[in-house]
Amino acid sequence: MRNQTFKLKLKHMKKILKLSFIAICILSLTNCNKEETENLVSEIDVTINNSDDYEIDLMISGDEEGATIKTQAQHFQKSELIRDSSTNWSVVYQYEPLPNYTGMDFVEIETCTGGESTGCSNFDIVRINFNITN
């Protein structure tokens, strides 16, 4: 009786191990096939007067390429991405601080480049650090 119980437990353990192995293999394969890459951070330090506007062309204009604000600035009157005929269809970030604000602010923009009719393949984070003065 004891030997049968042991064999039964061993049989169940083998099934559990096989299922676990299959699950690990499937998870490993799905993670290894990911072609997209995301670079940690490219940083730009900017000092502007609180009455000035700031604008940067991110030089992204491909049909499958783009950008989104990942972390919005906190002390802004305007903080937006524009891509239209006025920017010649290139993604441009525009920032205008609050009128009387002095101090630090930042925005993080996720850019998507390198797509060839299948969407983006390279994701980068651009962090713009603002030092806002009088």
> Exposed/middle/buried for 73, CB within 10 Å: 0-12, 13-18, 19+?
buried
Q: Is the pLDDT of residue 23 over 90?
A: no
pLDDT digit string, tens, across residues 86-120: 999 999 999 999 999 999 999 999 999 886 666 77
Output the pTM of the full model.
Answer: 0.69
**CATH architecture for segment(s) 37-133:** Sandwich (2.60)
Please tell me the predicted confidence (pLDDT) of residue 34: 42
pLDDT digit string, tens, across residues 54-68: 999 999 988 889 999
What residue segments make up the domains of the chain, in order of their start? 1-34, 37-133
Tell me the C-alpha to C-alpha distance, in Å, between residue 8 and each of 1, 12, 15, 16, 20: 11, 6, 11, 13, 18
Residues ≥6 apart with Cβ < 8 Å to 17: none
Going by the DSSP 8-state scheme, the letter that residue 99 receives in this structure is T
Tell me the C-alpha to C-alpha distance, in Å, between residue 94 and each of 31, 115, 132: 36, 25, 15
